[in-house]
Amino acid sequence: MSKPIWPLLGQTPLFPDAPGQFAALRTHETHTGVDLYCDVAQSVVAMEDGVVANVEPFTGAHVVDAPSPWWNNTWAVLVEGPSGVIAYGEIQPCVAIGQCVVAGERVGTILPVLRTFKGRPMVMLHLELLRSGTLATTTWWNDTTRPDHLLDPTPLLRRASGELFPRTFDLGHYDGRRFRDALAPTNIRYRFGDKLQR
Ligand SMILES: [Zn+2]
C-alpha cells in the first residue's frame, strides 16, 4: 500500500490537542474523528485513491436526522479506498457520488463550522475513518460503545504525516490569528497564548 497523503494541501501536518482527538468527550457526544485545524477555504485532498461513496450534509440545520443548527451548514465527502472509507467533514464538496478520485485530488474546500471564536481553533477538517462499505457517518452518543463501523483514523494520519513525532497543536503557543474565521464574533472562553509572552 502506498503512503497516504496529508489531506490538507500544502499544510505541514499538525495534530490536535486533546479536544480535537478521536474519542474526545463532548457535551452530548463522543468525537468520531480527528480535527485538523486549518484555515477557511483551504483545499482538502483525497488521502488515497478511491471512489466517492457519499456526499452528505454533515453539520448544521440541513442534517435531516440529527440537525445541529448551532453550527454552520457543512458537508462530508466519503471516499472508499484501500484503508476503508475516509470521511472528509466540515467542507464544501467539489466531487459527486460515484466519481473516482486519485490520491492528492481535491475533494472540497474548508468551511467554517463554528460560529464564534472562543480562543481555540474554530476552523478545521474533521476526518473520520469508517469500515469498508459504510455509506454514512453517524453520531457516537456519550455512554454508548463505539459504533462498530467507526475506526480511529490517527494511525492513518500518522503514516500520512511521514513524521515519527509530528507537530501537535499547543494552545499555549497559539496567537489566535490562524484557524479562525475572521468574520466570526469573539467570545474568549479559553486561555491561549500563555507561553508566547515569555
Ligand atoms: Zn471533529
Residue pLDDT, tens place only, 94-136: 999 999 999 999 999 999 999 999 999 999 999 999 999 999 9
d(CA 3, CA 159): 7
CB 139 within 8 A of CB 66: yes
Q: What is the model's pTM?
A: 0.96
The string of DSSP letters for 151-198 reads: E--HHHHHHHHT-SS-EE--GGG--SSSSS-TTS-B---S---GGG--
Q: How far is the CA of 127 from the centre of ligand 1 (A)?
A: 7
Which superfamily, per CATH, for 14-196?
Answer: Glucose Permease (Domain IIA) (2.70.70.10)
Amino acid at site 68: S
Ligand 1 mean position, distance from CA 161 (Å): 18
What is the C-alpha to C-alpha distance for residues 6 and 48, in angstroms, rounded to an integer?
A: 9
Identify the pLDDT of residue 198.
Answer: 59
121 residue type, one letter: P
**Distance of CA 22 from the midpoint of ligand 1 (Å):** 8
> What are the pLDDT digits (tens) for 140-156?
999 999 999 999 999 99
- 198 Cα–ligand 1 center, Å: 31
